Structure 1
Amino acid sequence: MDTTFPDLRQYGGADAFLRECQARIVFDMFTNKWAGLAMGALLGGPRRFNELRRMLDGVTQKMLAQTLRALERDGLVTRTVYPTIPPRVEYELTELGRSASAMLRAIGEWSGEHADEMIAARRAYDERAARPVEPVRA
Structure 2
Amino acid sequence: MEKEMSQYSKEMAAQILDMYPVWKDVADTEEYNGETYFKLEITPPSKNVTAPLRIYTYGDEITVSFDSYHGHFYDLENNDGGDAKTLIDQIISDNSAVISYWRDEEWCGSMLLDYSDVPTSNEEHPYANRIKIRTWSGKLDKDITCEPRG
Could you say whether these structures have the same fold, taking a TM-score greater than 0.5 normalized by the shorter chain as the test?
Answer: no
TM-score norm. by structure 1 comes to 0.30
TM-score norm. by structure 2 comes to 0.28
Structure with the largest fraction of strand: 2
Q: Which has the higher contact order (CA 8 A, sep 6+)?
A: 1
Kindly name which structure, 1 or 2, has the bigger radius of gyration based on alpha carbons.
Answer: 1
